[in-house]
Amino acid sequence: MRAAILGTTGYTGMILLRLLARHREVQEIFPGSSSHAGMALADTDYGISPSILTKTRWHGARLLTTEEIVEESPDVVFAALPHLASASVCAPFFGKVPVIDLSADFRLKDPVLFEKTYKEKPPRPDLLEKAVYGLAEWFTGDIKNANLIANPGCYPTATLLPLLPLSRAGLLKGTLITNALSGISGAGRNVKPAYLFCERSENTCAYGPGKQHRHQPEIKQGLDSVPGSTLDILFTPHLVPLKQGMAVTTVAELARAPASGEVDEIYREAYADRPCVRLTGSRIPETIHVRGSNRCDIGWQIEGDRIILFSVIDNLVKGASGQALQNMNIRFGFEETEGLSLHGEI
Amino acid sequence: MRAAILGTTGYTGMILLRLLARHREVQEIFPGSSSHAGMALADTDYGISPSILTKTRWHGARLLTTEEIVEESPDVVFAALPHLASASVCAPFFGKVPVIDLSADFRLKDPVLFEKTYKEKPPRPDLLEKAVYGLAEWFTGDIKNANLIANPGCYPTATLLPLLPLSRAGLLKGTLITNALSGISGAGRNVKPAYLFCERSENTCAYGPGKQHRHQPEIKQGLDSVPGSTLDILFTPHLVPLKQGMAVTTVAELARAPASGEVDEIYREAYADRPCVRLTGSRIPETIHVRGSNRCDIGWQIEGDRIILFSVIDNLVKGASGQALQNMNIRFGFEETEGLSLHGEI
Amino acid sequence: MRAAILGTTGYTGMILLRLLARHREVQEIFPGSSSHAGMALADTDYGISPSILTKTRWHGARLLTTEEIVEESPDVVFAALPHLASASVCAPFFGKVPVIDLSADFRLKDPVLFEKTYKEKPPRPDLLEKAVYGLAEWFTGDIKNANLIANPGCYPTATLLPLLPLSRAGLLKGTLITNALSGISGAGRNVKPAYLFCERSENTCAYGPGKQHRHQPEIKQGLDSVPGSTLDILFTPHLVPLKQGMAVTTVAELARAPASGEVDEIYREAYADRPCVRLTGSRIPETIHVRGSNRCDIGWQIEGDRIILFSVIDNLVKGASGQALQNMNIRFGFEETEGLSLHGEI
Amino acid sequence: MRAAILGTTGYTGMILLRLLARHREVQEIFPGSSSHAGMALADTDYGISPSILTKTRWHGARLLTTEEIVEESPDVVFAALPHLASASVCAPFFGKVPVIDLSADFRLKDPVLFEKTYKEKPPRPDLLEKAVYGLAEWFTGDIKNANLIANPGCYPTATLLPLLPLSRAGLLKGTLITNALSGISGAGRNVKPAYLFCERSENTCAYGPGKQHRHQPEIKQGLDSVPGSTLDILFTPHLVPLKQGMAVTTVAELARAPASGEVDEIYREAYADRPCVRLTGSRIPETIHVRGSNRCDIGWQIEGDRIILFSVIDNLVKGASGQALQNMNIRFGFEETEGLSLHGEI
């Protein structure tokens, strides 16, 4: 495999680089960057080990322009670019090589909803239908055949994974009340005052609640993928002073009282054979246990006629670059977890 | 005024010490401690300024036993002690001097509920009725005449302040879904593995959801103080890596569509003349802006047939020691904010 | 007193605002800002309490232009502006009203050294001689009569306070080896990638060692203020993930073996009556104990023929805005600590 | 390979577990624990992936007693135990299987110095001579044949790696002045008030300077390993609010002016073919770039007649468990970096 990264100097690009470096099926990596093209990779990412660089084509090499990458004809392209910029940079690769897009450009199927959400028309409305939504555990079959994978957002990944099995089983009804806590890297390498150390340290707050956050329509679309679902969601994200980590708490009304052990059984059926989901039962998961890992840990507790769902991911791994690699593995028939760590931190 | 602190070496006691030191009506402070009695205060709290010590009786003095404090006959007693230990330590003062108790020993009026919540019988059931619940903005009149003030918990303070005005106005119905984020000092100076720097840094999680957290019945009791209220609450606390700070997000169903500007007006009526509440309207408040301050900042946004309420406090100040001092000010007829800072951090 | 702040929206300006708000001799504050002039103060600093705003002229008021401030004829002007920009903004006030400048524009006496250090000529070489270096505990007499006070940098403050008494006593020789750890706010409200939460969290490093840091010549000039001193210094600053705090460790060669208790006695003589210095003896001070306080805590340990000096300050308080207010107090004959907190955090 | 860990529930044991899990030559791991023997590993370390557990013998298994491990006859034993406890727990393995001891029990060769440092006699003085000091880049030859490897402390590792090449080249003289910054995990999973989140967050301080820190004699012994060295060291550690990370700054006097490029050449000779050392030249390394990695990054700058050395490691990886695995690789002839990550964080 020869893999290209468009946008290597952002956080998701840097994580992708580390994951691809340890992937046993990937022999060459082409690191692209429009802003830093020509610079030595070792001078833009001091964490990368030079010893690893020697194992790849990009030894001694510079960050590449998209044109240089086109000439290399990679086998797969990861686009780790900002929303609304990604589709056009990827243009030369569409139809020629599978593209895994970490931006939002192909996530929403409905062009009207896209425009309402992102305040611009979708850059490539012609491709919206072909794009497969890369929630790896739920659209595995489609991903296997996809040539354009819209990698999910971090909030939708952590929110949908615990909800979809219960929704499919007809266990939920009404409006889900979801509160999500995100580490600051969720904002990307975004040089704004609000993301300075001194503004975020010892600080936390909600932001963009209700339908305001652009991930809300993406979550709703995911919920709607379950036939017959009438679930709505009121989604409130919060910023917490973590670098990497996301915890989502959803309170859902039960459509009926589940039988004893039924919820456990529903989750086991959905995820028992999926290596990137860990079911913790009534134990509430913590973000540190999935930091750096491609796992989503899911716990739950029934409270009267409601169920509370708890899920945690690393927003840059299972919530971005790790799931992108998982999708590549699925698409190319590799072991699903190749190159990925499933261990969290101590 | 001559003020005593029982439990000076815990976090709330240390904060109380700083607040009382700058209070212009307090001439003497008697710092009590069972664990460190006899030690120099300056050796148990390195942050206290020795220059301030010279202004008080406790210059050069040691931490005092409760007996020594009894002999001093202070004008007010603050108990900054653990739950279930507080009532008995305070015993010599009941009936002689106003006691402001920061523990939970007198918060719940119902002895059965107390036992269910704290797994022990209330230590002084005879005093439960006399104790006034010290949510300063809501029970001001009672506090003025109280000789035993049960200082509210941090979660109930931050949760109830935005809810009570709307509930009183009949605007809310159903089950409130409340998610709260707390800094680690909410656990007190509790030497457990879970509170180590290495366990909480870069980590976040929910804990004790639903009816499990002992603050839930306290919040419910506060809701029930509004005549005719049928509100219930599903409360889920989370730990976030802050030292001091609490953010609460409540999603509530509207009993009816409020008129334009009605919510603003309800809040203005409730709090416009209360210096420790700041209304931020649709702007969502952040914890850093109230850190070190006795303010509760409250914001709100209507979302369809629901309203989302956002409130932030410093859990150790408005959520504990600051509100205790505010209660002393109310009780003794001082300016409500004397000794308190209303500024948050930068 | 009617006090003006030039540069109210930076970190040092925001701290100054809080300190002046509680200063009992300051009745009016004029908050200046070139970038945000015309905006309501309450909209640029959400931490400021609106209730405090009502006590001052700037109730409901906007941030002011420098011209507006000139018209108000304040009694004192604090300049909390960037280096090389400060002198020209302050120009209308020179000779008319005492100016306390928190920038480096008037710290170095030698224009050649200034140019070498800041890569530009000093903006007002004519004023360099008249400016008094505001290290409050050492140039108290000069400060009393100064009309232009060059407020020291944070590193020089924390480094010089423990050194000057020993140097004056002839106890030190050779090249001091100083390592300093600074919180991130030392960089000001500087919106650069290096100061993002995600770049500084869980990260530490040295930077600008030796003669590279612009505070090195300032420290050397301070050392040279001791007649006969031949001390040199090798200064290495480090960034640590704190918001506010600075710890300095200096290893110095002893010129002779001090008599028993001599070092203690030297420090007592220098600082026993100075409220903003706390001597901790052989106990090593910690930054949290001075956070938010205008104290510098100083400890020391003799190690063979060397002495190790430990000092901590809050870089934004004793290292900037607090010392500026202390200087105002000295200049105008108020109590030295008026408006300042001497307590650190818990 | 079948590897045992004694002390699996401490921080270094937990890291070892993760490293061994990905090591391609290790087929079985025996996780030992005296305090938690019998408990399921998955219940004591929630970060470990259950999917990985299935690949090893310890699938479904419990933490083992030392006796159970003895019966398994592992091929290598890692002891991740407290100082003074390690030697006796390891006793059944000495002479039978290579032991890599992460404690200090075998680091100091001189029993008198050991007793002076650890306030107890060395637990096994008979083995001190046989134990090989496992500073992987310097005692590689001895490690290949060792049956007892004393894995170095974190401070000695980060301090010695930059010093030894220059000392061997005769470039240094006098007393080294070393300041070291350590993340809190350096204290282990030690449940003391000083290591609580609320005590270490937003706090930094020096501790145990001069000859007081138990790592000082270990560093001195390492310096003395260079024939003819007369270097002494004054070592001052500091605690900084990181979880994992260590930065060391050493100021050394030059014995002579090095020729142009000589220092670079000395370092290249020492480390160019060593994958776990990265030379950054005059660029100062940062801890985040080696977090989670087994790298030590080394930079340097000449300042007059002194040289300043900068080195960073992850204290739990290259400073503990990672170097232990590196030593296993050297001892058993595997690729030196097998199982180790050489990438730091983004």
How sure is the predictor about B52, in pLDDT bands with cuts at 50, 70 and 90?
low
Q: Is A31:A17 a contact under the CB 8 Å cutoff?
A: yes
* Mean model confidence pLDDT for chain C: 95
Give me the pLDDT at residue B135, please. Answer: 98
SS3 state at B258: coil
Interface of A with B in 171-190 (CB under 8 A): 175, 177, 179, 181, 183
H or E element at residue A67: helix A66-72
More confident site: C188 or C345? C345
CA pair distance D151, D326, nearest whole angstrom: 10
- Report the phi/psi class of residue C170: left, alpha or beta, with left for phi > 0 and alpha for psi in -120 to 50: left
Q: Is position C142 within any domain?
A: no
The 10s digit of each residue's pLDDT in B96-117 is 999 999 999 999 999 999 999 9
Name the token pair of B84.
């279930």
Check whether B59 has a pLDDT greater than 90: no
Integer-rounded Cα Rg, in Å, for chain A is 20
Within 8 A of A199 by CB-CB distance, chain C residues are 197
Of the given ranges (B69-78, B214-223, D42-51), which has the lowest mean pLDDT? D42-51
Check whether D28 has a pLDDT greater than 60: yes
Within 8 A of B196 by CB-CB distance, chain D residues are 184, 189-191, 195-197
Within 8 A of C301 by CB-CB distance, chain D residues are 209-210
* Of the residues D82, D97, D130, the one at which a domain ends: D130
CA pair distance D277, D298, nearest whole angstrom: 7
Interface of A with D in 217-276 (CB under 8 A): 275
Q: Are B103 and B200 in a shared domain? A: no
Q: Is position C206 within any domain?
A: yes
Give me the pLDDT at residue D287, please. Answer: 98
The 10s digit of each residue's pLDDT in D163-206 is 999 999 999 999 999 999 999 999 988 899 999 999 999 999 99
Q: Are D310 and D174 in a shared domain? A: yes
Q: What are phi and psi of C278, to 5 degrees?
A: -120, 130
Residue type, D289: H
Percent helix / strand / coil, chain D, rounded to 5: 35, 20, 45
CA distance A273 to chain D (A): 10
Residue C95 CB coordination number (10 Å): 11
CATH label of the domain that carries residue D7:
3.40.50.720
- Report the phi/psi class of residue C88: left, alpha or beta, with left for phi > 0 and alpha for psi in -120 to 50: alpha
- Pairing mode, strands D28-32 and D2-6: parallel
Q: Is position B339 within any domain?
A: no
Q: Are D123 and D162 in a shared domain? A: no
Check whether C54 has a pLDDT greater than 70: no
Q: Are C254 and C121 in a shared domain? A: no
Check whether C52 has a pLDDT greater than 80: no
- Kindly identify which residue of chain D lies nearest to residue B187, measuring between CA atoms: D198
Q: Is position C300 within any domain?
A: yes
Q: Are C225 and C307 in a shared domain? A: yes
Q: At what angle do helices C154-168 and C215-224 cross, to 10 degrees?
A: 20
The 10s digit of each residue's pLDDT in C143-175 is 999 999 999 999 999 999 999 999 999 999 999
Q: pLDDT 10s per residue in chain A (346 long)? A: 999 999 999 999 999 999 999 899 998 999 999 999 999 888 899 999 876 665 566 555 789 999 999 999 999 999 999 999 999 999 999 999 999 999 999 999 999 999 999 999 999 999 999 999 999 999 999 999 999 999 999 999 999 999 999 999 999 999 999 999 999 999 988 899 999 999 999 999 999 998 788 899 999 999 999 999 999 999 999 999 999 999 999 999 999 999 999 999 999 999 999 999 999 999 999 999 999 999 999 999 999 999 999 999 999 999 999 999 999 999 999 999 999 999 999 9
Give me the pLDDT at residue B53, please. Answer: 66
Q: Are C77 and C214 in a shared domain? A: no
Q: Is position B284 within any domain?
A: yes
C284 contacts chain D (CB < 8 A): yes
How sure is the predictor about C214, in pLDDT bands with cuts at 50, 70 and 90?
confident
Q: What is the pTM of this model?
A: 0.97
Sheet of D76-79, strand order: D28-32, D2-6, D76-79, D99-101, D148-150, D132-133
The 10s digit of each residue's pLDDT in C8-28 is 999 999 999 999 998 999 989
Give me the residue from C203, C244, C308 closest to D288, CB to CB. Answer: C203
Q: Are D201 and D239 in a shared domain? A: yes
Q: Are B310 and B164 in a shared domain? A: yes
Q: Are A224 and A161 in a shared domain? A: yes
- Cβ distance of B345 and C47 shorter than 8 Å: yes
How sure is the predictor about B211, in pLDDT bands with cuts at 50, 70 and 90?
confident
In total, how many domains does chain D have?
A: 2
Q: Are C125 and C205 in a shared domain? A: no
| Positions of D marked catalytic | 154
Strand ranges for chain D from DSSP E: 2-6, 28-32, 76-79, 99-101, 132-133, 148-150, 172-182, 205-206, 232-239, 246-254, 277-281, 296-303, 306-313
- Report the phi/psi class of residue B209: left, alpha or beta, with left for phi > 0 and alpha for psi in -120 to 50: beta
Q: Are C109 and C45 in a shared domain? A: yes
Give me the pLDDT at residue A58, please. Answer: 56
Check whether B138 has a pLDDT greater than 70: yes
Name the token pair of D135.
């500073």
Give me the pLDDT at residue D51, please. Answer: 66
Q: Is position B238 within any domain?
A: yes
Q: Are B167 and B292 in a shared domain? A: yes
CATH label of the domain that carries residue C175:
3.30.360.10
Quote the domain boundaries for residue A57: 2-130
Report how far apart the first and last C-alpha atoms of chain C are (Å, whole number).
33
Q: Give the contacts of C259 (CB within 8 A, at least 6 positions apart).
A: none
CA distance A11 to chain D (A): 7
Check whether D152 has a pLDDT greater than 80: yes
Give me the pLDDT at residue A162, please. Answer: 98
B196 contacts chain A (CB < 8 A): no
Give me the pLDDT at residue C42, please. Answer: 86
Overall size of chain D counted in residues? 346
In this structure, what DSSP letter does residue C170 have?
A: T
Residue with token string 């899911």: A298
Residue D206 CB coordination number (10 Å): 25
Give me the residue from B11, B189, B197 closest to D200, CB to CB. Answer: B197
Q: Is position C110 within any domain?
A: yes
Q: Is position C323 within any domain?
A: no
